[in-house]
Amino acid sequence: AAVLAVVAVVRGHWPALDTRRLRYAVIAGLLGVSLPNLASYTALAVVPTAVVGVIAALSPVFTYAFALGLGMERPSAARVAGVLAGLGGVLWVLWPGAAMRIDGAALIALIAPALLAAGNVYRSLAWPPGLAPIGAAALVLVGQAILVLPLAAACGVIAVPGMGAAASDLPLWATGAMTAAFYLG
């Protein structure tokens, strides 16, 4: 959030903070960042990591289904074939021959890609006019940090990396750097 905010300010893309943009940032952040992560972390407590990772690949399937259902897209043979190929790939990896038992608990993992898809559709429908992508990303992540950090601190589950290069801090710094690079890319 901090890196993207600095980049947005330097580029002159930090958005005006009006009601529409703030509402957009909160909803887009909840659907596209915080709630999918919460669903994934919850699923990881009961479902193998590999299953959660593979199920996450269903986000495009859900996005296309939601867009079709809302009339944002018309059925396309090529897109339907692509979605079915992706769905087939996920099912093939998760098939019982992959030595992973899938039961009702795996359904928890489906919440994350469904929320990501809802976020994709929401962003397409609610994008405020004149909002630059880097400004939107910065605003969404800053907003989610403001919402999530106090909750995480209150629950005692916040991890704050030190300024040194301790081995326990490196994954947190790497995750932050990769997230910033992802959004900047």
Q: What is the pTM of this model?
A: 0.83
Cα separation values, 48 from 34, 42, 101, 111, 132, Å = 21, 11, 9, 15, 38
DSSP string, 109-155: HHHHHHHHHHHHHHHHHHPPTT--HHHHHHHHHHHHHHHHHHHHHHH
Residue that the structure tokens 């994709």 belong to: 120
Give the per-residue pLDDT at 99: 46
Instruction: Report the candidate in 67, 46, 166 with the shortest Cα–Cα distance to residue 111.
Output: 46
Residue 88 banded pLDDT, cuts 50, 70, 90: confident
pLDDT higher than threshold 60 for residue 101: no
% of the chain residues with pLDDT over 70:
90
pLDDT recorded at residue 169: 78
pLDDT tens digits for range 38-78? 899 888 888 888 888 888 888 988 999 899 989 998 888 99
Question: Distance between CA atoms of 34 and 181, rounded to whole angstroms?
Answer: 19
